[in-house]
Each structure stands twice: as structure tokens, then as C-alpha cells.
Amino acid sequence: MTDSKPLTENIDEKPFHYKHARPYVAVDCVVFGIMPENDNNLLHVLLRRKTNVKKKKKEWVLPGRILQGGIDPGNEFDGAETLAQVIIRALTFSIELSRSESKRFESEEYTHQDTSRTITYSLIDPNSIIQIEGDETLTPEGSHEVHAGPMVEFTQLLAKFSPTRDWRQRTISVPYMLMTMPRERIPDYFEEDLKWFPVNDISQLPIGYDHCEIISQALQRLSEIARTQPIGRGMLNNKFTINDIAHLYETILDYPSLDRSNLKKLLLQRRLILPSTENPPQGGHLQGRQEYFEFDESVYSEYQKNKDFAFNPRPRQSQKK
């Protein structure tokens, strides 16, 4: 009778293989923003153009990436990405330029990086803290320590599981939503394949995959957030007027014109905003003699955590003729 062999004898020689197929996991980002130069305060969504090889045509899709890395045969993480890391990668765009284009680029003043002939543009400030709702916080260095930098907050949406959503490979999409005010315009080199579109125009575009459904879901979730949590951090300047935040609510909730006095009273009573103690920066739409406010960060975070910020402002009364 032979002795039984230990279960771990050949573990390094024969890597473990799963019997079941493992689908890809994609992280798609729904980025909403209100353009500072847009007089109509229309809500925009960021889309990138991608070639659909099967249909042989270009489509507009949400910025997204496949989650990279896994577990090696020795059960150690093999370069596995966190959610925050793959989101940063999804919102960083690169383009290869010819030599003549590279020279022309060097003569222009952009804040993004120029490495050899590759131009890189990132939607997220490199000093930002990435906050994933209910999951993790990532500092620019990848650590989880407290870091004094702008907060970029992402909200997870419902995952998409349809086996036919991607014809190339079974892919599960885990969408995340971000509300932001773009910190700089998209460089000209990206203008053909990366654009901000008013959400009302989405139905007229050739949208790839099931990203129309994801955008619709995100709009509904954004409306729910605006009614139960404070909004504005990341979408407004640090110093803002009541008119600025009123326009934000009117845009997101598709409200008629709000009563500014009632809105100001509501926000002050709940201690969400404070009169600004500093003069606003010069330039942009922060000019003129107006009253400026800023968020009380501790109160903002508390309302955000408890989700008990019931928002029910009054519409502005129509003028009698």
C-alpha cells in the first residue's frame, strides 16, 4: 500500500486552473459636469469615441478600462488593481503624435504632460484624493493616509451583467459616477475622440454597448442624491454665489427657476454653507460685487454620510403683469 501524497506536493509545478470561465470586469465612468463657459448651465457627460470593429464604425462610449491583475499560482496578488487605480487609468487619456505634431505641441501652453511623442491628459488632478463610496480612499501616492488635497468622490451604480452586452468577451461592467467641474479644457489633440456632450443630446449620438442605459441610470441616481444629500462639492468653485448653486439644482433636478432667497435661507439654516471670509479669485464668473459662500466641510460630510438632507426648495414666484 502506497503512502498518500500531500495535497501541496506539486502546487508550484501545476498552476491551478478554474473549471469555469471567468468574465472580464470593466469599470466604466459616468462623468457629469457643467461647463464654466456655458451660459445655459447645461449638464454634460464626458464620452470618448471608439471604433466598433464588428460594426465597422465609430461609436461614443463612456471612459472605461478592464480591471487588470489577478492572483498567481502561489496565491499572491500579481499586480492587481484597486477600484480607485483603475478609475484613474480610465480617466487618463493618451495619444501618439508624429514628429511634426510633437514640435507644434511644444510651442503651445498646456498643463498636461509631454513625454516624447506621447501626449497624456488626465481629467483628475494628480493631487486628488479618490473617494469610492463605501469602498476605499486612495491618495495620489496610493496610500490610505490622510492627505491634504481636493476630494474626488465616485458613486457606484448598478452593475451590468448581460451576456450579450459585449460581443468580444463576456464582460461585467461596474459603473461609477463622478460629478465635477472640468479643471481645464480638453486639449485640441483629443477633440475628435474625447468630448463633453449635453445629456439632452445623447439620444442623437451613436452610443456603444449599453452605455445609454448606464447614463440614464446615472441621471436617475444623480437626481436621488440631489434630493437626499448635499451637492456642489467638485462641481462649484470653492467660493460660490447662491445663484451658482441654484443653477446647479435647477440643472440636475430639471426644476423651474428656484426662489433664491428661500434657497439661501434653507442652506444657512442647515449650516451647510457659510459666508466666505475671503475674496473670491479674480477671473471667470466670480467677478462683481456679490455675496459669496463656501461649504462647511464637516456638516457637508455628515449630511452625505447620513443621507438625511431632504431638499424641497420653493420655485420662484412668477411676476404679475
* pLDDT bracket for residue 156 (50, 70, 90): confident
Lowest mean pLDDT among 147-151, 188-192, 206-210: 147-151
pLDDT at 5 over 50: no
* pLDDT bracket for residue 32 (50, 70, 90): very high
Would the CA dihedral through 38, 44, 48, 51 be positive or negative? negative
The Cα 138–Cα 145 span in angstroms is 8
User: Average pLDDT of 273-286?
Assistant: 66
All three cell numbers of 204, joined, read 442623437
Q: Which domains does the chain have, with CATH numbers?
A: 24-228 (3.90.79.10), 236-321 (1.10.10)
The Cα 93–Cα 184 span in angstroms is 14
All three cell numbers of 132, joined, read 469610492
For 44-68, the pLDDT digits (tens) are 999 999 887 777 788 999 999 988 8
All three cell numbers of 181, joined, read 467641474
pLDDT at 274 over 90: yes
Nearest CA among 174, 169, 166, 241 for reference residue 209: 166
Across the chain, what does the average pLDDT equal? 75
- Predicted confidence at residue 192, as pLDDT, reads 79
For 87-102, the pLDDT digits (tens) are 888 888 877 665 444 4
For 165-178, the pLDDT digits (tens) are 787 788 888 899 99
Nearest CA among 111, 122, 142 for reference residue 31: 122
* pLDDT bracket for residue 141 (50, 70, 90): very low
Nearest CA among 94, 154, 93, 155 for reference residue 129: 154
